[in-house]
Structure 1
Amino acid sequence: MAPKVASGWRGPLRAGIDAHRHDDHQIAYAARGVVAVTTDAGSWVAPGNRALWIPAGTVHAHQAHGRLELHLVGLPATENPLGLHRPTVLAVGPLLRELIVAYTRAPEEDSPERSRLRAVLLDQLRASLQQPLHLPTPGTPLLRSLCALLYADPADGRTLAELGRAVGASDRTLSRLFRADLGMAFPQWRTQLRLHHALVLLAEEQPVTAVAHRCGWSSASAFIDVFRRTFGHTPGRAGGPPDQRPAR
Protein backbone atom coordinates (compact mmCIF):
# COMPACT_ATOMS: atom_id res chain seq x y z
CA MET A 1 0.00 0.00 0.00
CA ALA A 2 1.42 3.40 -0.96
CA PRO A 3 1.81 6.02 1.74
CA LYS A 4 -0.46 9.02 1.91
CA VAL A 5 1.48 12.21 1.33
CA ALA A 6 0.99 15.90 2.05
CA SER A 7 3.79 18.12 0.85
CA GLY A 8 5.17 21.61 0.99
CA TRP A 9 2.71 23.04 3.52
CA ARG A 10 3.71 26.54 4.55
CA GLY A 11 2.29 28.16 7.66
CA PRO A 12 2.60 31.45 9.54
CA LEU A 13 4.37 31.99 12.84
CA ARG A 14 2.87 29.90 15.66
CA ALA A 15 0.39 28.00 13.49
CA GLY A 16 -1.11 24.97 15.19
CA ILE A 17 -3.31 21.93 14.69
CA ASP A 18 -5.44 20.80 17.62
CA ALA A 19 -5.27 17.29 19.10
CA HIS A 20 -6.14 14.61 16.56
CA ARG A 21 -5.13 11.13 15.49
CA HIS A 22 -4.62 9.39 12.18
CA ASP A 23 -4.79 5.77 11.08
CA ASP A 24 -1.35 5.79 9.43
CA HIS A 25 2.11 6.29 10.87
CA GLN A 26 3.42 9.74 10.00
CA ILE A 27 6.83 11.28 9.41
CA ALA A 28 6.78 15.05 9.91
CA TYR A 29 9.78 16.96 8.60
CA ALA A 30 10.17 20.75 8.73
CA ALA A 31 12.49 21.81 5.90
CA ARG A 32 12.17 25.30 7.34
CA GLY A 33 11.00 26.40 10.78
CA VAL A 34 10.47 24.13 13.77
CA VAL A 35 7.66 21.63 14.36
CA ALA A 36 6.59 20.34 17.78
CA VAL A 37 4.28 17.48 18.68
CA THR A 38 2.55 17.24 22.05
CA THR A 39 0.78 14.25 23.61
CA ASP A 40 -0.31 13.42 27.15
CA ALA A 41 3.18 11.99 27.67
CA GLY A 42 5.06 15.16 26.79
CA SER A 43 6.40 17.07 23.81
CA TRP A 44 8.93 16.45 21.04
CA VAL A 45 10.46 19.21 18.94
CA ALA A 46 12.35 19.01 15.65
CA PRO A 47 14.41 21.67 13.87
CA GLY A 48 15.54 21.37 10.26
CA ASN A 49 17.92 18.44 10.70
CA ARG A 50 15.44 16.31 12.64
CA ALA A 51 12.14 14.61 11.79
CA LEU A 52 9.31 13.40 14.00
CA TRP A 53 7.98 9.85 13.87
CA ILE A 54 4.32 9.77 15.01
CA PRO A 55 2.85 6.27 15.37
CA ALA A 56 -0.61 5.46 14.05
CA GLY A 57 -3.39 6.11 16.54
CA THR A 58 -1.38 8.54 18.68
CA VAL A 59 -3.51 11.47 19.85
CA HIS A 60 -1.31 14.51 19.31
CA ALA A 61 -1.28 18.22 18.52
CA HIS A 62 1.08 19.98 16.10
CA GLN A 63 2.61 23.38 16.75
CA ALA A 64 4.58 25.23 14.09
CA HIS A 65 7.16 27.86 14.97
CA GLY A 66 8.71 30.17 12.42
CA ARG A 67 7.79 30.22 8.75
CA LEU A 68 7.17 26.53 8.45
CA GLU A 69 7.66 24.39 5.38
CA LEU A 70 6.29 21.02 6.48
CA HIS A 71 6.61 17.71 4.63
CA LEU A 72 4.49 14.77 5.76
CA VAL A 73 4.92 11.15 4.72
CA GLY A 74 2.30 8.61 5.79
CA LEU A 75 2.95 4.88 6.12
CA PRO A 76 0.28 2.20 6.62
CA ALA A 77 -0.17 1.10 10.23
CA THR A 78 0.91 -2.40 9.19
CA GLU A 79 4.28 -1.06 8.03
CA ASN A 80 6.54 0.14 10.84
CA PRO A 81 10.10 0.13 9.49
CA LEU A 82 11.55 1.47 12.75
CA GLY A 83 9.54 -0.62 15.21
CA LEU A 84 8.73 2.54 17.20
CA HIS A 85 5.49 2.81 19.13
CA ARG A 86 5.69 6.32 20.55
CA PRO A 87 6.68 9.68 19.06
CA THR A 88 10.41 9.86 18.41
CA VAL A 89 12.80 12.46 17.00
CA LEU A 90 15.09 11.14 14.26
CA ALA A 91 18.27 12.56 12.78
CA VAL A 92 17.91 13.73 9.17
CA GLY A 93 21.09 13.81 7.11
CA PRO A 94 21.42 15.50 3.71
CA LEU A 95 20.37 12.40 1.74
CA LEU A 96 17.28 11.68 3.84
CA ARG A 97 16.29 15.34 3.68
CA GLU A 98 16.40 15.33 -0.11
CA LEU A 99 14.51 12.03 -0.29
CA ILE A 100 11.68 13.35 1.91
CA VAL A 101 11.42 16.59 -0.05
CA ALA A 102 11.54 14.80 -3.41
CA TYR A 103 9.03 12.16 -2.36
CA THR A 104 6.48 14.62 -1.04
CA ARG A 105 6.78 16.82 -4.10
CA ALA A 106 6.49 13.97 -6.62
CA PRO A 107 3.13 13.04 -8.20
CA GLU A 108 1.33 10.48 -6.07
CA GLU A 109 0.50 8.01 -8.82
CA ASP A 110 2.11 4.59 -8.55
CA SER A 111 5.18 4.12 -10.74
CA PRO A 112 8.40 2.08 -10.64
CA GLU A 113 10.41 5.27 -10.09
CA ARG A 114 8.27 6.31 -7.11
CA SER A 115 8.49 2.80 -5.62
CA ARG A 116 12.29 2.90 -5.84
CA LEU A 117 12.40 6.36 -4.25
CA ARG A 118 10.17 5.13 -1.42
CA ALA A 119 12.37 2.07 -0.86
CA VAL A 120 15.51 4.20 -0.50
CA LEU A 121 13.66 6.61 1.81
CA LEU A 122 12.65 3.72 4.09
CA ASP A 123 16.21 2.38 4.08
CA GLN A 124 17.48 5.77 5.21
CA LEU A 125 14.83 5.97 7.92
CA ARG A 126 15.93 2.62 9.31
CA ALA A 127 19.47 3.98 9.56
CA SER A 128 18.41 7.21 11.29
CA LEU A 129 19.62 7.71 14.85
CA GLN A 130 17.04 8.41 17.53
CA GLN A 131 17.52 11.74 19.30
CA PRO A 132 16.84 12.41 23.03
CA LEU A 133 14.61 15.44 22.44
CA HIS A 134 11.58 14.37 24.47
CA LEU A 135 10.36 16.71 27.21
CA PRO A 136 8.17 14.48 29.40
CA THR A 137 5.04 15.83 31.07
CA PRO A 138 4.97 15.45 34.88
CA GLY A 139 2.22 13.30 36.31
CA THR A 140 2.41 14.06 40.04
CA PRO A 141 0.81 17.26 41.42
CA LEU A 142 4.06 18.41 43.07
CA LEU A 143 6.05 18.16 39.84
CA ARG A 144 3.27 19.78 37.83
CA SER A 145 3.39 22.77 40.19
CA LEU A 146 7.17 23.03 40.03
CA CYS A 147 7.40 22.54 36.27
CA ALA A 148 4.71 25.15 35.70
CA LEU A 149 7.06 27.74 37.24
CA LEU A 150 9.76 26.84 34.72
CA TYR A 151 7.40 26.59 31.77
CA ALA A 152 6.39 30.17 32.55
CA ASP A 153 10.02 31.31 32.83
CA PRO A 154 12.70 28.95 31.49
CA ALA A 155 15.36 31.42 32.66
CA ASP A 156 14.34 30.92 36.31
CA GLY A 157 17.67 29.99 37.88
CA ARG A 158 16.48 28.84 41.29
CA THR A 159 17.95 25.63 42.65
CA LEU A 160 15.79 22.57 43.24
CA ALA A 161 15.78 23.36 46.98
CA GLU A 162 14.59 26.93 46.30
CA LEU A 163 11.89 25.73 43.92
CA GLY A 164 10.93 23.12 46.50
CA ARG A 165 10.24 25.81 49.07
CA ALA A 166 7.94 27.49 46.55
CA VAL A 167 5.86 24.31 46.11
CA GLY A 168 6.19 22.91 49.65
CA ALA A 169 8.53 19.95 49.16
CA SER A 170 12.14 19.07 49.92
CA ASP A 171 14.74 18.87 47.20
CA ARG A 172 15.29 15.20 48.09
CA THR A 173 11.61 14.42 47.51
CA LEU A 174 11.56 16.35 44.25
CA SER A 175 14.77 14.73 43.01
CA ARG A 176 13.27 11.31 43.64
CA LEU A 177 10.05 12.29 41.84
CA PHE A 178 11.92 13.57 38.79
CA ARG A 179 13.65 10.23 38.34
CA ALA A 180 10.59 8.11 39.13
CA ASP A 181 8.01 10.16 37.20
CA LEU A 182 10.02 11.66 34.33
CA GLY A 183 12.93 9.25 34.03
CA MET A 184 15.60 11.94 34.29
CA ALA A 185 17.30 14.15 36.83
CA PHE A 186 16.08 17.70 37.40
CA PRO A 187 19.06 19.37 35.62
CA GLN A 188 18.47 17.19 32.54
CA TRP A 189 14.77 18.10 32.45
CA ARG A 190 15.48 21.81 32.84
CA THR A 191 18.07 21.71 30.04
CA GLN A 192 15.56 19.95 27.76
CA LEU A 193 12.94 22.60 28.56
CA ARG A 194 15.37 25.40 27.81
CA LEU A 195 16.45 23.82 24.52
CA HIS A 196 12.82 23.37 23.45
CA HIS A 197 12.12 27.00 24.27
CA ALA A 198 15.30 28.11 22.50
CA LEU A 199 14.30 26.33 19.29
CA VAL A 200 10.97 28.16 19.29
CA LEU A 201 12.62 31.56 19.78
CA LEU A 202 15.26 30.87 17.13
CA ALA A 203 12.59 29.82 14.63
CA GLU A 204 10.96 33.20 15.27
CA GLU A 205 14.30 34.80 14.33
CA GLN A 206 15.27 36.06 17.78
CA PRO A 207 19.02 36.87 18.09
CA VAL A 208 21.16 34.16 19.64
CA THR A 209 22.30 36.38 22.52
CA ALA A 210 18.71 37.25 23.43
CA VAL A 211 17.67 33.59 23.23
CA ALA A 212 20.52 32.57 25.54
CA HIS A 213 19.43 35.18 28.10
CA ARG A 214 15.71 34.37 27.90
CA CYS A 215 16.38 30.65 28.30
CA GLY A 216 18.66 30.92 31.32
CA TRP A 217 22.20 30.50 30.00
CA SER A 218 24.87 32.67 31.60
CA SER A 219 26.33 33.64 28.22
CA ALA A 220 25.78 33.19 24.52
CA SER A 221 28.91 31.02 24.31
CA ALA A 222 27.60 28.64 26.99
CA PHE A 223 24.29 28.36 25.11
CA ILE A 224 26.02 27.78 21.76
CA ASP A 225 28.15 25.01 23.27
CA VAL A 226 25.13 23.11 24.68
CA PHE A 227 23.15 23.67 21.48
CA ARG A 228 25.95 22.43 19.22
CA ARG A 229 26.50 19.31 21.33
CA THR A 230 22.77 18.52 21.25
CA PHE A 231 21.86 19.34 17.65
CA GLY A 232 25.17 19.11 15.81
CA HIS A 233 25.12 22.67 14.48
CA THR A 234 25.13 26.24 15.76
CA PRO A 235 21.89 27.91 16.91
CA GLY A 236 22.11 30.40 14.06
CA ARG A 237 20.97 27.63 11.69
CA ALA A 238 17.94 26.47 13.71
CA GLY A 239 14.68 26.96 11.88
CA GLY A 240 16.26 27.09 8.44
CA PRO A 241 17.39 24.48 5.93
CA PRO A 242 20.60 22.77 7.09
CA ASP A 243 23.79 24.44 5.85
CA GLN A 244 21.88 27.33 4.31
CA ARG A 245 21.78 29.82 7.16
CA PRO A 246 24.96 31.30 8.62
CA ALA A 247 25.65 31.22 12.33
CA ARG A 248 24.96 34.51 14.12
Structure 2
Amino acid sequence: MLQKIRHTPVAPTRTQRLASGGEIDAHRHDDHQIAYASRGAIAVTTDAGSWVAPATRAIWIPAGTVHQHQAHGELVLHLVGLPVTENPLGLDKPAVLAVSPLLRELIVAYTRAPEDDSPPRLRLRAVMLDQLTVSPEQPLHLPVPTSPLLRELHDILRADPADNRSLDELGRQIGASARTLSRRLRADLGLTYPQWRTQIRLHHALILLADDTPVTTVAHRCGWSSASTFIDVFRRAFGHTPGSRPAA
Protein backbone atom coordinates (compact mmCIF):
# COMPACT_ATOMS: atom_id res chain seq x y z
CA MET A 1 0.00 0.00 0.00
CA LEU A 2 1.15 3.55 -0.71
CA GLN A 3 1.62 5.53 2.49
CA LYS A 4 1.72 9.20 3.54
CA ILE A 5 -0.62 10.35 0.82
CA ARG A 6 -0.66 14.03 -0.08
CA HIS A 7 -3.83 15.61 -1.43
CA THR A 8 -3.13 18.24 -4.08
CA PRO A 9 -6.60 19.24 -5.36
CA VAL A 10 -5.45 20.84 -8.63
CA ALA A 11 -3.26 18.65 -10.87
CA PRO A 12 -0.42 20.89 -12.06
CA THR A 13 0.48 21.60 -15.65
CA ARG A 14 4.24 22.05 -15.90
CA THR A 15 7.58 20.74 -17.12
CA GLN A 16 10.09 19.51 -14.56
CA ARG A 17 13.34 17.60 -14.50
CA LEU A 18 14.22 14.70 -12.22
CA ALA A 19 17.51 12.87 -11.85
CA SER A 20 17.48 9.13 -12.47
CA GLY A 21 15.90 7.44 -9.46
CA GLY A 22 14.16 10.64 -8.37
CA GLU A 23 10.62 10.34 -7.06
CA ILE A 24 7.43 12.30 -6.56
CA ASP A 25 5.86 10.77 -3.47
CA ALA A 26 2.36 9.30 -3.18
CA HIS A 27 -0.40 11.83 -3.78
CA ARG A 28 -3.77 12.32 -5.44
CA HIS A 29 -5.57 15.07 -7.33
CA ASP A 30 -9.20 16.02 -7.80
CA ASP A 31 -8.29 16.47 -11.48
CA HIS A 32 -7.17 14.05 -14.17
CA GLN A 33 -3.51 14.18 -15.14
CA ILE A 34 -1.32 13.12 -18.05
CA ALA A 35 2.34 12.29 -17.37
CA TYR A 36 4.68 12.31 -20.37
CA ALA A 37 8.47 11.95 -20.46
CA SER A 38 10.18 13.57 -23.45
CA ARG A 39 13.49 12.22 -22.10
CA GLY A 40 14.03 9.17 -19.92
CA ALA A 41 11.11 6.99 -18.83
CA ILE A 42 8.44 7.66 -16.22
CA ALA A 43 7.06 4.97 -13.94
CA VAL A 44 3.72 5.51 -12.22
CA THR A 45 2.78 3.19 -9.37
CA THR A 46 -0.64 2.71 -7.75
CA ASP A 47 -2.03 0.00 -5.51
CA ALA A 48 -3.27 -1.75 -8.66
CA GLY A 49 0.15 -2.04 -10.31
CA SER A 50 2.70 -0.05 -12.25
CA TRP A 51 2.91 1.62 -15.64
CA VAL A 52 6.15 2.57 -17.41
CA ALA A 53 6.20 4.88 -20.41
CA PRO A 54 9.06 5.82 -22.77
CA ALA A 55 8.97 8.87 -25.03
CA THR A 56 6.41 7.34 -27.40
CA ARG A 57 3.86 6.83 -24.62
CA ALA A 58 2.08 8.89 -21.96
CA ILE A 59 0.31 7.77 -18.79
CA TRP A 60 -3.29 8.73 -18.05
CA ILE A 61 -3.97 9.15 -14.31
CA PRO A 62 -7.69 9.54 -13.50
CA ALA A 63 -8.89 11.97 -10.84
CA GLY A 64 -8.66 10.59 -7.32
CA THR A 65 -6.05 7.92 -8.14
CA VAL A 66 -3.35 7.66 -5.48
CA HIS A 67 -0.06 7.45 -7.37
CA GLN A 68 3.63 8.12 -7.21
CA HIS A 69 6.18 8.84 -9.94
CA GLN A 70 9.73 7.53 -10.36
CA ALA A 71 12.29 8.72 -12.89
CA HIS A 72 14.41 6.32 -14.90
CA GLY A 73 17.22 8.02 -16.73
CA GLU A 74 17.57 11.81 -16.70
CA LEU A 75 13.89 12.63 -16.85
CA VAL A 76 12.20 15.57 -18.54
CA LEU A 77 8.63 15.23 -17.28
CA HIS A 78 5.63 17.02 -18.74
CA LEU A 79 2.49 17.06 -16.60
CA VAL A 80 -0.91 18.11 -17.96
CA GLY A 81 -3.77 18.67 -15.51
CA LEU A 82 -7.35 18.34 -16.78
CA PRO A 83 -10.57 18.96 -14.83
CA VAL A 84 -12.82 15.96 -14.25
CA THR A 85 -15.19 17.28 -16.92
CA GLU A 86 -12.51 16.73 -19.59
CA ASN A 87 -11.80 13.06 -20.24
CA PRO A 88 -11.14 12.69 -23.98
CA LEU A 89 -11.01 8.87 -23.93
CA GLY A 90 -13.50 8.23 -21.14
CA LEU A 91 -10.94 6.30 -19.08
CA ASP A 92 -11.63 5.69 -15.40
CA LYS A 93 -8.45 3.70 -14.70
CA PRO A 94 -4.75 4.47 -15.30
CA ALA A 95 -3.65 3.68 -18.83
CA VAL A 96 -0.75 4.08 -21.22
CA LEU A 97 -1.53 6.07 -24.37
CA ALA A 98 0.28 6.17 -27.68
CA VAL A 99 1.93 9.55 -28.33
CA SER A 100 2.23 10.54 -31.98
CA PRO A 101 4.95 13.01 -33.05
CA LEU A 102 2.28 15.74 -33.28
CA LEU A 103 0.85 15.00 -29.83
CA ARG A 104 4.37 14.98 -28.39
CA GLU A 105 5.04 18.48 -29.69
CA LEU A 106 1.66 19.72 -28.44
CA ILE A 107 2.25 18.38 -24.91
CA VAL A 108 5.78 19.79 -24.79
CA ALA A 109 4.64 23.22 -26.01
CA TYR A 110 1.58 23.32 -23.73
CA THR A 111 3.51 22.41 -20.58
CA ARG A 112 6.29 24.90 -21.29
CA ALA A 113 4.02 27.85 -22.10
CA PRO A 114 3.04 30.31 -19.34
CA GLU A 115 -0.26 29.35 -17.69
CA ASP A 116 -2.89 31.80 -18.91
CA ASP A 117 -6.12 31.90 -20.91
CA SER A 118 -4.68 33.66 -23.93
CA PRO A 119 -6.23 32.71 -27.30
CA PRO A 120 -3.03 31.02 -28.60
CA ARG A 121 -2.79 28.83 -25.49
CA LEU A 122 -6.48 27.92 -25.63
CA ARG A 123 -6.11 26.94 -29.29
CA LEU A 124 -3.06 24.83 -28.42
CA ARG A 125 -5.04 23.12 -25.66
CA ALA A 126 -7.97 22.41 -27.99
CA VAL A 127 -5.74 20.74 -30.59
CA MET A 128 -3.97 18.73 -27.87
CA LEU A 129 -7.34 17.44 -26.58
CA ASP A 130 -8.38 16.55 -30.14
CA GLN A 131 -5.20 14.50 -30.55
CA LEU A 132 -5.76 12.77 -27.20
CA THR A 133 -9.19 11.68 -28.41
CA VAL A 134 -7.55 9.53 -31.10
CA SER A 135 -4.66 8.22 -28.96
CA PRO A 136 -5.04 4.44 -28.62
CA GLU A 137 -4.55 2.77 -25.27
CA GLN A 138 -1.47 0.54 -25.05
CA PRO A 139 -1.21 -2.71 -22.98
CA LEU A 140 1.76 -1.70 -20.83
CA HIS A 141 0.22 -2.19 -17.42
CA LEU A 142 2.09 -4.50 -15.07
CA PRO A 143 -0.66 -5.54 -12.64
CA VAL A 144 0.02 -6.56 -9.04
CA PRO A 145 -1.33 -10.07 -8.42
CA THR A 146 -3.74 -10.58 -5.53
CA SER A 147 -2.88 -14.27 -5.03
CA PRO A 148 -0.06 -14.82 -2.48
CA LEU A 149 1.42 -17.53 -4.73
CA LEU A 150 1.49 -15.20 -7.72
CA ARG A 151 2.96 -12.40 -5.61
CA GLU A 152 5.81 -14.74 -4.68
CA LEU A 153 6.33 -15.63 -8.32
CA HIS A 154 6.10 -11.93 -9.24
CA ASP A 155 8.87 -11.09 -6.75
CA ILE A 156 11.15 -13.79 -8.18
CA LEU A 157 10.71 -12.58 -11.76
CA ARG A 158 11.02 -8.89 -10.90
CA ALA A 159 14.24 -9.58 -8.98
CA ASP A 160 15.74 -11.39 -11.97
CA PRO A 161 13.87 -10.93 -15.27
CA ALA A 162 16.52 -13.11 -16.95
CA ASP A 163 15.39 -16.13 -14.94
CA ASN A 164 14.53 -18.60 -17.72
CA ARG A 165 13.26 -21.44 -15.57
CA SER A 166 10.02 -23.05 -16.66
CA LEU A 167 6.81 -22.56 -14.74
CA ASP A 168 7.19 -26.16 -13.47
CA GLU A 169 10.63 -25.34 -12.02
CA LEU A 170 9.47 -22.08 -10.46
CA GLY A 171 6.39 -23.81 -9.11
CA ARG A 172 8.52 -26.36 -7.28
CA GLN A 173 10.37 -23.49 -5.58
CA ILE A 174 7.19 -21.89 -4.24
CA GLY A 175 5.23 -25.08 -3.66
CA ALA A 176 2.63 -25.03 -6.44
CA SER A 177 2.10 -26.89 -9.69
CA ALA A 178 2.42 -25.21 -13.06
CA ARG A 179 -1.24 -25.99 -13.70
CA THR A 180 -2.30 -24.19 -10.52
CA LEU A 181 -0.14 -21.17 -11.30
CA SER A 182 -1.40 -21.00 -14.89
CA ARG A 183 -5.01 -21.17 -13.74
CA ARG A 184 -4.46 -18.40 -11.18
CA LEU A 185 -2.65 -16.22 -13.70
CA ARG A 186 -5.61 -16.40 -16.08
CA ALA A 187 -8.14 -15.81 -13.32
CA ASP A 188 -6.20 -13.03 -11.55
CA LEU A 189 -4.48 -11.18 -14.40
CA GLY A 190 -6.02 -12.54 -17.60
CA LEU A 191 -2.55 -13.49 -18.88
CA THR A 192 -0.63 -16.63 -19.74
CA TYR A 193 2.73 -17.15 -18.06
CA PRO A 194 4.75 -16.25 -21.21
CA GLN A 195 2.67 -13.07 -21.67
CA TRP A 196 3.16 -12.03 -18.06
CA ARG A 197 6.89 -12.75 -18.10
CA THR A 198 7.28 -10.74 -21.32
CA GLN A 199 5.46 -7.77 -19.72
CA ILE A 200 7.80 -7.93 -16.71
CA ARG A 201 10.82 -8.08 -19.00
CA LEU A 202 9.66 -5.18 -21.17
CA HIS A 203 9.08 -3.00 -18.09
CA HIS A 204 12.57 -3.77 -16.86
CA ALA A 205 14.00 -3.17 -20.34
CA LEU A 206 12.46 0.33 -20.46
CA ILE A 207 14.10 1.18 -17.14
CA LEU A 208 17.53 -0.07 -18.27
CA LEU A 209 17.28 1.73 -21.64
CA ALA A 210 16.38 4.99 -19.89
CA ASP A 211 19.70 4.73 -18.05
CA ASP A 212 21.52 4.35 -21.41
CA THR A 213 22.30 0.66 -20.92
CA PRO A 214 23.45 -0.83 -24.26
CA VAL A 215 20.77 -2.76 -26.14
CA THR A 216 22.77 -6.03 -26.11
CA THR A 217 23.23 -5.76 -22.34
CA VAL A 218 19.52 -5.04 -21.85
CA ALA A 219 18.62 -8.12 -23.89
CA HIS A 220 20.91 -10.28 -21.75
CA ARG A 221 19.76 -8.87 -18.41
CA CYS A 222 16.10 -9.29 -19.34
CA GLY A 223 16.39 -12.89 -20.48
CA TRP A 224 16.22 -12.73 -24.27
CA SER A 225 18.40 -15.20 -26.15
CA SER A 226 19.80 -12.55 -28.47
CA ALA A 227 19.70 -8.82 -29.10
CA SER A 228 17.83 -9.39 -32.37
CA THR A 229 15.08 -11.32 -30.58
CA PHE A 230 14.77 -8.55 -28.00
CA ILE A 231 14.65 -5.86 -30.70
CA ASP A 232 11.88 -7.74 -32.51
CA VAL A 233 9.75 -8.10 -29.34
CA PHE A 234 10.38 -4.48 -28.38
CA ARG A 235 9.43 -3.19 -31.85
CA ARG A 236 6.16 -5.14 -31.81
CA ALA A 237 5.31 -3.75 -28.36
CA PHE A 238 6.32 -0.12 -28.85
CA GLY A 239 6.42 0.51 -32.58
CA HIS A 240 10.11 1.45 -32.70
CA THR A 241 13.48 -0.13 -31.96
CA PRO A 242 14.98 0.12 -28.46
CA GLY A 243 17.89 2.21 -29.72
CA SER A 244 15.72 4.99 -31.19
CA ARG A 245 14.27 7.88 -29.20
CA PRO A 246 13.08 11.39 -29.97
CA ALA A 247 15.16 14.32 -28.80
CA ALA A 248 13.99 16.09 -25.64
Given candidates 13, 18, 26, the residue that maps to 2:33 is 26
Partner Cα distance (2:174, 2:89) in 1: 41
**1:41 aligned partner, one-letter code:** A
Give the equivalent residue in structure 1 for 2:177: 170
Give the equivalent residue in structure 2 for 1:95: 102
Whether 1:46 and 2:58 are equivalent positions in the alignment is no
Partner Cα distance (1:4, 1:101) in 2: 17
Partner Cα distance (1:34, 1:96) in 2: 17
Partner Cα distance (2:29, 2:59) in 1: 15
Give the equivalent residue in structure 1 for 2:211: 204
Contact 2:34–2:58 (CA<8 Å) still a contact in 1? yes
Partner Cα distance (1:104, 1:202) in 2: 25
Q: C-alpha displacement at 1:79, in angstroms?
A: 1.9
Give the equivalent residue in structure 1 for 2:156: 149
Q: Which TM-score applies when normalising by structure 1? A: 0.93
Partner Cα distance (2:111, 2:148) in 1: 43
Partner Cα distance (2:119, 2:11) in 1: 17
Given candidates 113, 120, 130, the residue that maps to 1:113 is 120
Contact 2:11–2:32 (CA<8 Å) still a contact in 1? no
Structure 2: which 5+ residue stretches go unaligned?
A: 1-9
Q: Percent of pairs identical after alignment?
A: 72
Given candidates 221, 231, 240, the residue that maps to 2:238 is 231
Q: C-alpha displacement at 1:5, in angstroms?
A: 4.2
Q: Determine helix, strand or coil for the equivalent of 1:193.
A: helix
Q: C-alpha displacement at 1:78, in angstroms?
A: 2.3
Residue 140 and residue 4 in structure 1: after superposition, are their counterparts in 2 closer, same or farther (change >3 A)? closer
Structure 1 vs Structure 2 CA RMSD: 1.3
Q: Which TM-score applies when normalising by structure 2? A: 0.93
Give the equivalent residue in structure 2 for 1:215: 222
Q: C-alpha displacement at 1:4, in angstroms?
A: 5.5
Given candidates 121, 127, 132, the residue that maps to 2:139 is 132
Whether 1:180 and 2:187 are equivalent positions in the alignment is yes
Partner Cα distance (1:145, 1:122) in 2: 41
Contact 2:168–2:177 (CA<8 Å) still a contact in 1? yes
Partner Cα distance (2:70, 2:192) in 1: 27
Contact 1:5–1:104 (CA<8 Å) still a contact in 2? no
